[in-house]
Amino acid sequence: MPDSLYNEIVSLSRQTSIFESMAHLQTWDLETHMPKAGLIHRSDMMSSLASLVHARKTSAEFKRLLAKRVSLRTGKAKDPHLTATQKACLREWAKEYRQLHNLPQPWVEEFSKITTQASQVWAEAKRTNQFQLFAPHLEKVVQFSREKASFLGYKTHPYEALLHTFEPSIPLKTVHSLFRRLRASLDRLIPKALQNQPPLSKALQAHVSDSKQWAISQSLLSTLPMAPEQYRLDLSSHPCSISIHPLDQRITTRFLPNSFLSNIYSVLHEAGHAMYEMGLPHNLWGTPLCQAASISIHESQSRFWEICIGKSKPFWQVFYPQLQKILHPTLKKISLDTLFQEVHHVRPSFVRVEADDMTYPLHVMLRFELEQALIGQDLSVQDLPFVWNELMKKYLGITPRHDREGCLQDIHWAAGLFGYFPTYVLGTLGAFQLFASFQKEHPNWQAMILEEKDLSFIRHFLQQTIHRHGKMFTTPELILTATGSPLSEKPFLQHLKTLKF
């Protein structure tokens, strides 16, 4: 029998989702082609939309309806006869209400305005290599992030409150423990890998025009199991993926003239995000079950396509002939084996998104350490460039030549995303754990790719194990359900050990 009260809650939530979609469209426009002169006006628009969404999600009416169907304190449904889907939605709505209710409306408005402006100033500061241009904006973002942690509450460290806005079900101490074990293993593996590196091919670092890089992006996307009418690709300072609706995905990439591989892996990464959003239950749009389980799970999907599939031999056996046609004669004499060696080449690098699989986690751990210091008031923004360079030397044995390849390289802090970075490593670990399960279910997956030249069966596996569940499960529950084991660093480390240098 239909529950009219529950349906009323769904209706209100869907109305709010429309305004959230409008905010996402504004963000996408901001990332891609907004005129510079429109920044102040756009920040006001973003602030108004953020305020409107917050007001609707914490309104007295929404609270009243929720309180009749669920305990706002525990998230437990009051009617045992509701379906599992309804109970899960009510649980997540109550959780979100508790969190948002603690954030004052004026603070939400101002934080949106500050981060919108900071993101645009960051882009200019990065382009011109002027950290001091960005520093005052970052100081405001850090201060507001500390306030956010205070509003949300925490038990041990203010950073944990921020981490839980992106990964709510993994304690900070668990992240520390995972990272310690992972780093200890990487400290043993990386020196061995560096001793046996083949020389890099200069042809793979040749200058490639924007027009050819665009052709590469389009050819790559046509290879992936994505309906072209459900997404669009644009350019931005930092590759990103923005979901307007499961059937409306916006992804961006960037072109580095001497690294076409960077473009390829940016597209794969962001397409992985988009495919996750496309795979969420469309009929439940506007409810938590049409939302990602967590950012860690989201990153597991992007890293699955970027690394597990995108750096596999059968993928390149299918895609390389297409690439050779576009980059003829640059790649005419470059064998697939040579390219494959470059894809898996281990070398300490300055830029996180260009890092190899083995050193990538160290980039995240560096940011993890800096974020905690900034939020805990153990590090000032003015000292950030110097400390960043010190930690690069400590973690990777190299020192950035300038802030553009140092502390200005990521947009996350400008956007107020303190607490996000750990999810890249958590997602990477989850991706390889999922990949191990995928290989058990499809032991002939490599032959399937080569014979069918169709990757749809891979997306179907992820759809069944991850996408269709939305927020039904927490990250640990979803990984356990999908793989039969708790989240672990072991499958990822096993992958690194099997690489041949």
Question: In this predicted model, what pLDDT tens digit does every residue of 306-364 receive, in sequence order?
Answer: 999 999 999 999 999 999 999 999 898 889 998 988 899 999 999 999 999 999 999 99
Query: Which position among 31, 109, 160, 270 bears the catalytic label?
Result: 270
Tens digits of residue pLDDT in 123-141: 999 999 999 999 999 999 9
- Taking the CA atoms of residue 207, residue 212, residue 217 and residue 218 in that order, the dihedral angle to the nearest 10 degrees is -170
Burial pattern 56-70, b for ≥16 Cβ within 10 A else e, equals: bbbeeebeebbeebb
Q: What is the pLDDT of residue 2?
A: 57
pLDDT of residue 1: 41
Give the β-pairing of 248-253 and 241-245: antiparallel
Give CA–CA dist 336/351, Å, rounded: 25
Cα separation, 262 vs 412, whole angstroms: 19
Predicted confidence at residue 29, as pLDDT, reads 76
Q: Are 138 and 381 in contact (CB under 8 A)?
A: yes
Task: Tell me how far apart the alpha carbons of residues 164 and 154 are, in angstroms, rounded to a whole number.
Answer: 10
- In the chain, the percentage of residues whose pLDDT exceeds 90 is 88
pLDDT tier for residue 445 given thresholds of 50, 70 and 90: very high
* Residue 270 designated active-site: yes
Q: How far apart are CA 30 and CA 35, in angstroms?
A: 9
Distance from first CA to last CA of the chain, Å, rounded?
Answer: 62
User: How far apart, in whole angstroms, are the C-alpha atoms of residue 161 and residue 142?
Assistant: 14
Q: Of 202-206, 211-215, 224-228, 355-359, give the lowest mean pLDDT range.
A: 202-206
Summary mean pLDDT of the chain: 95
Rounded-to-integer distance, Cα 339 and Cα 351, Å: 21
Report, as an integer, the average pLDDT of 139-162: 97
447 burial type by CB count under 10 A (0-12 exposed, 13-18 middle, 19+ buried): exposed
The rounded distance, in Å, linking the Cα atoms of 247 and 21 is: 12
Mean pLDDT, rounded, for 427-446? 98
pLDDT at 501: 58
Q: How far is CA 235 from the centre of its chain?
A: 17
Whether residue 292 contacts residue 276, with contact meaning beta carbons closer than 8 Å, is answered with: yes
Distance, CA of 324 to CA of 401 (rounded, Å): 34
Tens of pLDDT along 12-35? 999 999 999 988 888 877 777 767
CA pair distance 87, 9, nearest whole angstrom: 12
